[in-house]
């Protein structure tokens, strides 16, 4: 399964990157391909149009507004970045 997503939090520091790391670890442990765009202090790991088109699922680990127009027609799963980073501690 191919997954893309965005992680973002209002301050753009810890939770953004912790959530991305947790999502990447979990997906890889399940044998999935994943790429997470981080929208922290700056936007990094930007998703290409081709990557989005090939994805079967889009994960939005965000607690701030992000543009989702580019994911039109895709299956979206939304969660809070804190949920991912808190699960990482377990």
Residue 67's alpha-carbon distances to 33, 72, 87, in angstroms, are: 23, 11, 26
Selecting among 3, 4, 6, 9, the annotated active-site residue is 9
Residue pointed to by tokens 């079967």? 56
Contact by Cβ (8 Å): 52, 70:
yes
To the query of whether residue 79 is one of the catalytic residues in this protein, the response is no
Contact by Cβ (8 Å): 35, 41:
no
Residues annotated catalytic, as ranges? 9
């Amino acid at each position: 399964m191919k997954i893309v997503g965005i992680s973002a939090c209002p301050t753009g520091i810890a939770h953004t990157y912790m959530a991305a790391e947790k999502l990447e670890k979990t997906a890889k442990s399940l044998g999935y391909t994943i790429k997470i765009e981080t929208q922290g202090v700056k936007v990094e790991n930007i998703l290409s149009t081709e990557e989005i088109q090939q994805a079967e699922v889009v994960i939005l680990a965000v607690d701030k507004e992000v543009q989702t127009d580019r994911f039109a027609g895709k299956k979206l799963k939304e969660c809070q970045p804190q949920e991912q980073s808190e699960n990482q501690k377990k």
